[in-house]
Amino acid sequence: MGAIDAVGVSKRYRLDRKREVTALEGVDLEVGQNEFVALVGPSGCGKSTFLYMVGGFLEVSEGRILVNGAPVRGPGPDRGIVFQHFALFPWLTVRRNVLYGLEERGVPLEERQRVARDLITLVGLAGFEDVYPKQLSGGMKQRVAIARTLALDPEILLMDEPFGALDAQTREMMQDELLRIWGLRRKTVLFITHDVREAVYLADRVAVMTARPGKIKALVDTRHDRSQNAAALMASPEFARSVNEIWEIVREEALAAQRLEARSGDLGSPSRP
Amino acid sequence: MTRLAASGRYAPLLLVAAGWELAVLSGAISPNLLPRFSEVMATLWDLLRSFELPREIGVSLLRQMIGFTLAVVIGVAVGVTMARLRLVDRALRPLVTLGYPVPVVALFPVLVLMVGLDHRLQIIVILLGSILPTIVSSFNAARGVDHYLVWSARNLGTGSRRMLWKIVIPAALPEILSGIRTTLSLSFVLLVAAEQLGADRGIGAFALRAGQNGFYTGMFAAILTIGLMGFAADRLYLALMRILLRWQEQE
With 0-12 / 13-18 / 19 or more C-beta atoms within 10 angstroms meaning exposed / middle / buried, residue A226 is exposed
Considering chain B, what is the average pLDDT of its residues?
A: 91
At residue A149, the pLDDT reads 94
Give yes or no for residue A41 having a pLDDT over 90.
Answer: no
Q: Does B166 touch chain A (CB under 8 A)?
A: yes
The confidence band for B251, taking pLDDT boundaries of 50, 70 and 90, is low
What is the nearest CA distance from A132 to chain B, expressed in angstroms? Answer: 6
B249 → closest Cβ in A79, A90, A104? A90
For chain A, give the percent of residues with pLDDT over 90: 56
Pick the closest to residue A84 from A184, A171, A196 (CA basis).
A171
Q: B162 to chain A: nearest residue by CA? A: A104
At residue A224, the pLDDT reads 78
What is the nearest CA distance from A89 to chain B, expressed in angstroms? Answer: 7
Pick the closest to residue B164 from B177, B173, B156, B174 (CA basis).
B173
A85 → closest Cβ in B148, B155, B170? B148
Residues from A contacting B (CB-CB < 8 Å) are 52, 55, 57, 74-75, 77, 79-81, 83, 85, 87, 89-92, 100-101, 104-105, 132-134, 148-149, 151-152, 272-273
CA–CA distance, B181 with A10 (Å, rounded to integer):
47
Residues A188-207: pLDDT tens digits?
A: 999 999 899 999 999 999 99
Residues 139-158 of B with CB under 8 A from A: 146-149, 151-158
Q: What residues contact residue A55 under an 8 Å CB cut-off, 6+ apart?
A: A75, A79, A81, A158, B151, B155
A87 → closest Cβ in B152, B162, B248? B152
Considering chain A, what is the average pLDDT of its residues?
A: 88
DSSP characters over B59-72: HHHHHHHHHHHHHH
What is the nearest CA distance from B122 to chain A, expressed in angstroms? Answer: 37
At residue A42, the pLDDT reads 82
CA–CA distance, B226 with A141 (Å, rounded to integer):
46
Query: Could you write out the three-class secondary structure of chain A?
Result: CCCEEEEEEEEEEECCCCCEEEEEEEEEEEECCCCEEEEECCCCCCHHHHHHHHHCCCCCCEEEEEECCEECCCCCCCEEEECCCCCCCCCCCHHHHHHHHHHHCCCCHHHHHHHHHHHHHHCCCCCCCCCCHHHCCHHHHHHHHHHHHHCCCCCEEEEECCCCCCCHHHHHHHHHHHHHHHHHCCCEEEEECCCHHHHHHHCCEEEEECCCCECEEEEEECCCCCCCCHHHHHHCHHHHHHHHHHHHHHHHHHHHHHHHHHHCCCCCCCCCC
Give yes or no for residue B29 having a pLDDT over 70.
Answer: yes
Residues B177-215: pLDDT tens digits?
A: 999 999 999 999 999 999 998 878 999 999 999 999 999
At residue A273, the pLDDT reads 43
Q: What residues contact residue B78 under an 8 Å CB cut-off, 6+ apart?
A: B88, B92, B131, B135, B138
Give yes or no for residue B78 having a pLDDT over 60.
Answer: yes
Q: What type of residue is A248?
A: E
Q: A148 to chain B: nearest residue by CA? A: B156
Give yes or no for residue B131 having a pLDDT over 90.
Answer: yes
Please report the ipTM that was assigned to this predicted complex: 0.89
Lowest mean pLDDT among A164-178, B119-133, B229-243: A164-178
Lowest mean pLDDT among A170-179, A252-261, B158-167: A252-261
At residue A272, the pLDDT reads 44
At residue B2, the pLDDT reads 59
Instruction: Indicate yes or no: CB of A100 within 8 angstroms of CB of B170.
Output: no
Query: What is the average pLDDT across B28-43?
Result: 91
Mutate to test the interface with A, among B154, B155, B163, B177 (most CBs of A within 10 A): B155
Residue B36, SS3? coil
Which DSSP state fits B85?
A: -
φ, ψ (nearest 5 deg) of residue B202: 100, 160
Q: B245 to chain A: nearest residue by CA? A: A91
Instruction: Indicate yes or no: CB of A91 within 8 angstroms of CB of B170.
Output: yes
C-beta contacts of A177-186 below 8 A and 24+ residues apart: A177/A123, A177/A124, A177/A143, A178/A146, A178/A202, A179/A226, A181/A122, A181/A123, A181/A146, A181/A150, A182/A36, A184/A122, A185/A150, A185/A153, A186/A34
At residue B200, the pLDDT reads 84
Q: A146 to chain B: nearest residue by CA? A: B152
CA–CA distance, B115 with A255 (Å, rounded to integer):
71
Q: How many CA atoms lie within 13 A of A253 on its CB side?
A: 24
Instruction: Indicate yes or no: CB of A80 within 8 angstroms of CB of B171.
Output: no
Chain A residues whose beta carbon lies within 8 Å of the beta carbon of residue B146: 87
Give yes or no for residue B4 having a pLDDT over 70.
Answer: no
CA–CA distance, A8 with A93 (Å, rounded to integer):
42
Give yes or no for residue B6 having a pLDDT over 80.
Answer: no
Which DSSP state fits B107?
A: G
Pick the closest to residue A148 from A91, A100, A200, A92 (CA basis).
A100
At residue B5, the pLDDT reads 63
At residue B91, the pLDDT reads 93
Residues B137-177: pLDDT tens digits?
A: 999 999 999 999 999 999 999 998 899 999 999 999 999 99
The confidence band for A235, taking pLDDT boundaries of 50, 70 and 90, is confident
Residues A48-92: pLDDT tens digits?
A: 999 999 999 999 999 999 999 999 999 988 999 999 999 999 999
Instruction: Indicate yes or no: CB of A152 within 8 angstroms of CB of B167.
Output: no
At residue A271, the pLDDT reads 46
Q: How many CA atoms lie within 13 A of A194 on its CB side?
A: 15
